[in-house]
Amino acid sequence: MANANMNCWPLIVIGGSSERSQETMGAFQEFPQVEACRLYTKFSARPSSIETIPSIIEKAVRSSIYGRPGPCYVDIPADFVNLQVNVNSVKYVECCMPPPVSMAETSAVYMAASVIRNAKRPLLIIGKGAAYAHAEEALRKLVEQCKLPFLPTPMGKGVIPDNHQYCVSAARSRALQFADVIVLFGARLNWILHFGLPPRYQPDVKFIQVDICAEELGNNVKPAVTLLGDTNAVTKQLLEQFNKTPWQYPPESSWWQTLREKMKSNEAASKELASQKSLPMNYYTVFYHVQEQLPRDCFVVSEGANTMDIGRTVIQNYLPRHRLDAGTFGTMGIGLGFAIAAAIVAKDRNPGQRVICVEGDSAFGFSGMEVETICRYNLPIVLLVVNNNGIYQGFDADSWKEMLKFGDATAVAPPVCLLPNSHYEQVMTAFGGKGYFVQTPEELQKSLKQSLADTTKPSLLNIMIEPQATRKAQDFHWLTRSNM
């Protein structure tokens, strides 16, 4: 129902409920589904009759994409399926118009520009909202014109390419910790950004918030300036200010120097890890080789714990809205569904565009059976299962056997450990896709090459890594607390 040229995708769940006439009688799967969806949706409703289905769907679609986007639920009782109505009584409605766009107040834009101009250590943070708003062009112009360092959030990656010269992802903690002015483009100050609070930030850091959602502004911090409106429109407003009175942040400032040094040392540390020759491989080695071969325009889907967190720092995105991961909620099990959806979009819109799905072994366990769907529809997704035999950390096969000697596995095995050496690639071959059991960098290079070359079939690379592998050492202990 979405307009082809709408550039945004409503998220509507259509659910089936039991026959209306059997309600309260103990019908099959009788449940108050509209009510049960209330907490999870922007709009949840059941059409009161077949005649009103079009209006309800229109409202669900519109609610899903207007304002801050979100999911909606429409409930269709079983008896609607066979019910007949007079065609003339149906209230047809057209699809809604593309979402209305709003801009920030001119004086606030002016003030924001002024705060940026006076910043000693400025930083832009590009969030998911910037991607939703299609702000990529405006943001790139702003960054390049003003020569400002920027950081993407996990879902903001690719709005400006990760390898852009002003991207300071490799010095993320440093950038957050010492910036004196931070401009948030569609990024919330939630746990992902450590709530905007010390010790991850300067106590007197000035936040400028650009957001489509008024109620988001001022969450957890008192912002210096708030710019309420569509992120793309507001970014253009800021650009206009810097066009009127051109300004750029000095590229040789000590802030840029600090950031560049930190990036260099972090990148060196990563590269050092990536080049380790010991087997099993570590995360960095794996992602380094993956990154080398990934097509520039591919979709990257990812979920897992370390796999998602470390993978994000190595695997680069060059296009907006081409990364899909477990998101703010960290919901495991959504990876394969995302990959299937992306593959169907790609098939339709840009045949040849690939979908790479980078899964932790535990994450894969949530919905790994979806490879049947992938194979059924011949979607040439490349699935990488980065397998450390566990969640965060597993055991190797020998330790596992040793441990089991002492008794009952259900009692002894730590709940975060999974079966060592599971052959996840066979879950793929069971349904006719290609499977690779990968233990060395060379095997990884080769099997990935073959997988990417084959556009007719899905493949799964089961990549064995050191069960105790972790991320590289962090400067401060509080950098490794998952929610700090």
Binding to a second copy in span 62-91, by CB under 8 A: 62-63, 66-67, 78
- When the beta carbons of 168 and 363 are compared against a second copy, the nearer one is 363
Query: How many other C-beta atoms are found inside a 10 Å radius of the C-beta of residue 184?
Result: 28
Give the footprint of a second copy on residues 123-152 (CB under 8 A). Answer: none
What 3-state DSSP class applies to 425?
helix
Sort 124 into a burial class: Cβ within 10 Å, 0-12 / 13-18 / 19+.
buried
Q: Check residue 99 for interaction with a second copy (CB under 8 A).
A: yes
CA 346, CA 352: separation in Å to the nearest integer?
8
- When the beta carbons of 214 and 279 are compared against a second copy, the nearer one is 214
Structure letter (DSSP) for residue 177? H
Q: How many residues bind a second copy (CB under 8 A)?
A: 101
- When the beta carbons of 253 and 328 are compared against a second copy, the nearer one is 328
Sort 357 into a burial class: Cβ within 10 Å, 0-12 / 13-18 / 19+.
buried
Give the footprint of a second copy on residues 144-203 (CB under 8 A). Answer: 188-191, 195
- When the beta carbons of 121 and 128 are compared against a second copy, the nearer one is 128
Q: Check residue 102 for interaction with a second copy (CB under 8 A).
A: yes
Q: Check residue 344 for interaction with a second copy (CB under 8 A).
A: yes
Nearest approach in angstroms of CB 92 to a second copy is 11
96 backbone φψ class: left, alpha, beta (φ>0; ψ -120 to 50): beta
Residue 285 has which token pair? 């080695």
The amino acid sitting at 414 is: P
Q: What is the DSSP code string of 347-374?
A: HHHSTT--EEEEEEHHHHHHHGGGHHHH
Give the footprint of a second copy on residues 307-336 (CB under 8 A). Answer: 328-330
Q: Check residue 45 for interaction with a second copy (CB under 8 A).
A: yes
Give the footprint of a second copy on residues 413-442 (CB under 8 A). Answer: 413, 418-419, 422-427, 429-432
Alpha helices in 294-413 (DSSP H): 306-314, 335-349, 361-367, 371-376, 397-405, 409-412
Nearest approach in angstroms of CB 166 to a second copy is 27
Q: Tell me which of 2, 93, 111, 452 binds a second copy, using CB under 8 A.
A: 93
Q: Check residue 217 for interaction with a second copy (CB under 8 A).
A: yes
- When the beta carbons of 213 and 269 are compared against a second copy, the nearer one is 213
Stretch that binds a second copy, among 53-61, 173-181, 351-359, 439-447 (CB under 8 A): 53-61
- 323 φ, ψ to 5°? -120, 130
Site string for a second copy, 374-403 (x = CB under 8 A): -xxxx-------------------------
CA angle 151, 152, 155 (to 5 degrees): 165
Residue 271 has which token pair? 């590269």
Cis peptide before 280 (omega within 30 of 0): yes
- When the beta carbons of 282 and 307 are compared against a second copy, the nearer one is 307
Q: Check residue 39 for interaction with a second copy (CB under 8 A).
A: yes
Strand order in the sheet with 299-303: 323-325, 299-303, 355-360, 382-387, 459-464, 434-438
- When the beta carbons of 76 and 213 are compared against a second copy, the nearer one is 213
Nearest approach in angstroms of CB 94 to a second copy is 6
Residue 391 has which token pair? 């969640």
Give the footprint of a second copy on residues 218-277 (CB under 8 A). Answer: 218-220, 222-223, 226-230, 233
- When the beta carbons of 329 and 406 are compared against a second copy, the nearer one is 329
Please say whether the beta carbons of 150 and 174 come within 8 A: no
Residue 75 has which token pair? 């409930």
Q: Tell me which of 6, 13, 108, 345 binds a second copy, using CB under 8 A.
A: 108
- When the beta carbons of 278 and 455 are compared against a second copy, the nearer one is 455
Nearest approach in angstroms of CB 37 to a second copy is 11
Q: Check residue 31 for interaction with a second copy (CB under 8 A).
A: yes
- When the beta carbons of 32 and 251 are compared against a second copy, the nearer one is 32
